[in-house]
Amino acid sequence: MSVRQALLALLEQGPMYGYQLRAEFERRTGSTWPLNVGQVYTTLARLERDGLVEGTGTDDEGHVIYRVTEAGEDEVAAWFTTPVSRSHPPRDELAIKLALAVTVPGVDVGAVIQGQRTATMAALQDYTRLKRTGRAALPGAATDPADLAWSLVLDSLVFAAEAEIRWLDHCEARLRRVAATRDDVRRPGEAPAAENATDKAARR
Amino acid sequence: MRGWRPLLRLAWRDARRARGRSILVLVMIALPVMAVTAADVVIATQDVTSAESLDRRLGSADALVSVDPYSSNVIQSFDPDDGMGSSAGAQEGNGHTFADVRRVLGFDTRSLELRDGEIRVTTDMGVASAMATEVDATDPMTTGMFRLSAGHYPKSDDEAVVNQALADRGFSVGDRLEVVDGHTLTVVGIAESGSFRNPAYVLARPGALGLTDETGRPRWLVETGPVSWDEVRELNKLGATVLSRSVIENPPPKSELPPEITTATTDDAWLAIVVLVVSMALLEVVLLAGPAFAVSARRQSRTIALMAATGATPEQARRLVLAGGIVLGGIAAVAGVAIGIVVGWLAAPLVQGLSDSRFGPFDVPWLHLLGIAAFGLASAVLAAVVPASIASRQDVVAVLAGRRGDRRPSLRSPILGLALLGAGIAASVYGANQTSMGEVFIAGSAVVAVLGMLLLVPVAIVGLARISRRLPLPLRFAVRDAARHRTRTVPAVAAVAATVAGVVALGIAVTSDAAEAEATYTEQLPTGMAQVTGFYSNSGRIKPGQWDRYAAVVAGELPEHRVVRVSGVPEDETVIGFKVPGAPTLLTIHASALGSSVLVDDELPAGLGIQEADRTRAGRALARGDAVVLADQSVAADQVTVLVERFSDDGASTSSKHERLPAVFVQPEGQVAMAQAVLPPAVAERIGLEVATVSLLIDGPVTESAETDLQEALAAVSPDASLYVERGYRAEDATVIVQLVLAVLGGVLMLGGTLTATFLALSDARPDLATLAAVGAAPRSRRLVGAAYALVVGLVGAVLGAAVGFIPGIAITYPLTSNAWTGSGPEGMPSHYLDVPWLLILGLVVGLPLLTATVVGLSARSRLPTIARID
Amino acid sequence: MSAILELADVTRIHGSGATEVRALRAVHFHAHAGELVAVMGPSGSGKSTLLTLAGGLDQPTHGAVRVEGVDLASLGYKGRARMRRTSIGYVFQDFNLIPALTAAENVALPRELDGARAGVARRAALQALEEVGIGELADRFPDEMSGGQQQRVAIARAVVGERRLILADEPTGALDTDTGEEILRLLRARCDAGAAGVLVTHEARHAAWADRVVFLRDGVVVDESGTDPAESLLESDAAR
* Contacts of A among chains (3+ CB pairs under 8 A): C
B103 in a domain, yes or no? no
**Using only C-alpha atoms, what is the Rg of chain B?**
36
Nearest chain A Cα distance for residue C205, angstroms: 6
Which residues in chain C touch residue A179, judged by CB atoms under 8 angstroms apart?
none
Compute CA distances B98 → A164, B64, B106, B107, B132, whole Å: 120, 12, 12, 11, 22
Do residue B548 and residue B621 come from a single domain? Answer: yes
Give the residue among B228, B229, B243 at the shortest CA–CA distance from B79: B243
- Indicate yes or no: CB of A118 within 8 angstroms of CB of C224: yes
Select from A47, A81, A115 the last residue of a domain. A81
pLDDT, position B214:
66
Give the model confidence (pLDDT) of B749-804 as tens digits.
888 888 888 888 888 888 888 888 888 787 788 888 889 989 998 999 999 999 88
The answer on pLDDT for B863 being more than 90 is no
C204 contact residues in A (CB cutoff 8 A)? 121, 124, 161-162, 165-166
Q: Identify which of C58, C113, C200 has the shortest CB distance to residue B777.
A: C113
Q: How many domains does chain A divide into? A: 2
Mean pLDDT, rounded, of chain B: 79
| Interface contact flag, B866 C57, Cβ < 8 Å | yes
- Read off the pTM: 0.68
Range from B191-195, B310-314, B428-432 carrying the lowest mean pLDDT: B310-314
pLDDT digits over B574-610, tens only?
788 888 887 777 777 777 777 788 888 887 777 677 7
- Looking at beta carbons, which residues of chain C come within 8 Å of A117? 215, 223, 225
Same-domain status, A104 and A189: yes
Task: Judge whether residue B153 has pLDDT over 70.
Answer: yes
Query: Looking at the structure, do residues B195 and B132 belong to the same domain, yes or no?
Result: yes
Q: Are B677 and B641 in contact (CB under 8 A)?
A: no
Average pLDDT, chain A: 76
Domain end: B725, B757, B790, which one?
A: B725
Distance between CA atoms of B180 and B539, rounded to whole angstroms? 9
Residue B226 has pLDDT above 50, yes or no: yes
Whether B108 has a pLDDT exceeding 80, the answer reads no
Kindly state whether residues B767 and B703 are assigned to the same domain. Answer: no
- Indicate whether B868 pLDDT > 60: no
Candidates C24, C51, C57, partner chain B, best to mutate (most B CBs within 10 A)? C57
Residue A163 in domain: yes
Asked if C7 and C65 touch (Cβ cutoff 8 Å), the reply is yes
- Counting residues of chain B whose pLDDT is more than 70, the rounded percentage is 86
Whether residue A173 lies within 8 A of chain C, CB to CB, comes out as yes
* B702 lies in the same domain as B756: no
Residue finishing a domain among B192, B220, B248: B220
Look at residue B569 and tell me whether its pLDDT is greater than 60.
yes
Residues B481 and B510 occupy one common structural domain? yes
- pLDDT tens-place string over residues B488-504: 888 888 888 888 888 88
Give the Cα separation of A92 and A100 in Å (integer).
13
* CA–CA separation, B851 and B856 (whole Å): 9
Which residue from B847, B832, B830, B834 is spatially nearest to B806, judged by alpha carbons? Answer: B834
Per-residue pLDDT of B637-681, as tens digits, reads 888 888 888 776 666 667 778 888 888 888 877 767 778 888 888
* Closest among B460, B487, B471, B328 to B795, alpha carbons compared: B460
Are B462 and B547 in a shared domain? no
pLDDT in tens, C65-97: 999 888 988 887 778 888 888 888 888 887 778
Q: Are residues A50 and A124 in the same domain?
A: no
Domain that holds residue B139: 113-220
Is C182 within 8 Å of chain A by CB?
no
Handedness of CA B146, B148, B154, B159 (dihedral sign): negative
In this complex, the residue of C188, C204, C222 whose CB is nearest that of residue A121 is C204
| Statement to judge: residues B657 and B748 lie in one domain | no
**Does residue A38 sit in the same domain as residue A120?**
no
For chain A, give me the number of helices (H) and strands (E)?
Answer: 7, 3
Does A71 share its domain with A100? Answer: no
Does B263 reside within a domain? no
Q: Is A86 among the domain residues?
A: no
Which residues, in sequence order, are CB contacts of A117 under 8 Å at separation 6+?
A165, A168, A169, C215, C223, C225
A52 plus A116 within the same structural domain: no
Do A40 and A97 lie in a common domain? no
CA angle B51, B53, B59 (to 5 degrees): 105
| pLDDT higher than threshold 50 for residue A203 | no
B670 and B551 within one domain: yes
The answer to the question of residue A192 being in a domain is yes
Q: Looking at the domain assignment, is residue A122 inside a domain?
A: yes
The answer to the question of residue A109 being in a domain is yes
Residue A193 shares a structural domain with residue A111: yes
Question: ∠ at Cα B493 (B490, B499), nearest 5°?
Answer: 135
Q: Please indicate whether, in this complex, the C-beta atoms of C213 and A125 are within 8 angstroms of each other.
A: yes
Least confidently predicted of A54-58, B106-110, B215-219, B290-294: B215-219
| Residue B55: alpha-carbon gap to chain centroid | 31
**10-residue averages of pLDDT along chain C (240 residues):** 84 82 89 91 84 85 90 84 83 80 85 80 90 88 86 87 86 82 87 90 88 88 66 39
The answer to whether residues B638 and B515 belong to one domain is no
State pLDDT tens for residues B69-94. 666 677 787 777 777 766 655 555 56
A133 lies within 8 A of chain C by CB: no
Query: Could you tell me if B848 and B750 are in contact, meaning their C-beta atoms sit under 8 angstroms apart?
Result: yes
Q: Within the 178-197 window of chain C, which residues sit less than 8 Å (CB to CB) from chain B?
A: none
Residues A74 and A126 both lie in one domain: no
C58 near B CB under 8 A: yes
Is residue A110 domain-shared with residue A168, that is, in the same domain? yes
Q: Out of C185, C205, C225, whose CB is closest to A158? A: C205
pLDDT of residue B562 exceeding 90: no
| Closest chain C residue by Cα to residue A131 | C209
By C-alpha distance, the chain B residue nearest C110 is: B775
**Inter-residue contact B175 to B148 (CB < 8 Å):** no
Can you state the angle between helices B781-817 and B766-774, rounded to 10 degrees?
140
Residues A49 and A145 reside in one and the same domain: no
Q: What is the enclosing helix (H) or strand (E) of B683?
A: helix B681-686
Whether B225 maps to a domain, the answer reads no
Is B403 a domain residue? no
- Nearest 5°: the CA angle B546, B548, B551 is 115
Residue of C nearest to B766 (CA): C98
Cα–Cα distance for residue pair B802/B790, rounded to 1 Å:
17
What is the mean pLDDT of the segment spanning A121-142?
A: 73
pLDDT at B749: 81
In B699-838, DSSP assigns E strands to 722-725
Flag whether B259 is in a domain: no
- B-C contacts (CB, under 8 Å): 85
For testing contact with chain C, the best of A128, A164, A174 (most C CBs within 10 A): A128
Nearest CA of chain C to the CA of B289: how many Å?
Answer: 24
> Measuring CA to CA, which residue among B484, B422, B39 is closest to residue B476?
B484
Q: In terms of pLDDT, which residue wins out, B716 or B193? A: B193
Of A98-107, B90-99, B209-218, B278-287, which range is least confident?
B90-99
Domain boundary at B685, B703, B725, which?
Answer: B725
The phi, psi pair for C103, rounded to 5°, reads -55, -50
* Residues A64 and A139 both lie in one domain: no
Residue B668 DSSP class: B
Domain count within chain B: 3
How high is the pLDDT of residue B442? 81
Q: Could you tell me if C93 lies within 8 Å of chain B, comparing CB atoms?
A: yes
pLDDT at position B347 is 84
pLDDT in tens, B380-417: 898 888 888 888 877 766 776 666 656 666 677 888 88
A160 in contact with C at a CB cutoff of 8 Å?
no
In sign, the C-alpha dihedral spanning B348, B353, B355, B357 is positive
Q: In this structure, is residue B453 part of a structural domain? A: yes
pLDDT at residue B799, as a whole number: 92
Cα–Cα distance measured from residue B799 to residue B821, given in angstroms and rounded to the nearest whole number: 36
| pLDDT of res. B407 | 62
Answer yes or no: is A99 within a domain. Answer: yes
Q: Closest chain C residue to A176 measured between Cα atoms? A: C217
Task: Give just the sign of the alpha carbon dihedral A183, A185, A186, A192.
Answer: positive
Indicate whether A88 belongs to any domain.
no
> Do B477 and B550 lie in a common domain?
no
Contact present, C52 and B866 (Cβ < 8 Å): yes
Give the pLDDT confidence score for residue A94 in this predicted structure.
Answer: 80
Residue A48 forms part of a structural domain: yes
Check whether residue B537 and residue B620 sit in a common domain. yes
- Is residue B595 assigned to a domain? yes
Neighbours of B174 (CB within 10 A): 9
Rounded Cα gap, residues B250 and B58, in angstroms: 16
CB nearest to A162's CB, from C205, C215, C226: C205
Given A34, A54, A81, the domain boundary residue is: A81
Residue A8, domain CATH = 1.10.10.10
| B252 domain-assigned | no
Same domain as A105, residue A77: no
Q: Are residues B615 and B633 in the same domain?
A: yes
Which band of pLDDT confidence, cut at 50, 70 and 90, is reported for residue A32? low
Residues 6+ apart with CB under 8 A from B606: B526, B529, B564, B697, B699
Residue type, B743: A
- CB distance B869–C48 less than 8 Å? yes
Q: Which residue of C has its CA nearest to A164?
A: C204
- pLDDT on residue B541: 64
Domain containing A74 equals 2-81
Say what the pLDDT of residue B870 is: 40
Which of C185, C215, C223 comes nearest A132 by C-beta? C185
Residue C217's φ and ψ, nearest 5 degrees, are -145, 130
The H or E element containing residue B381 is helix B366-392
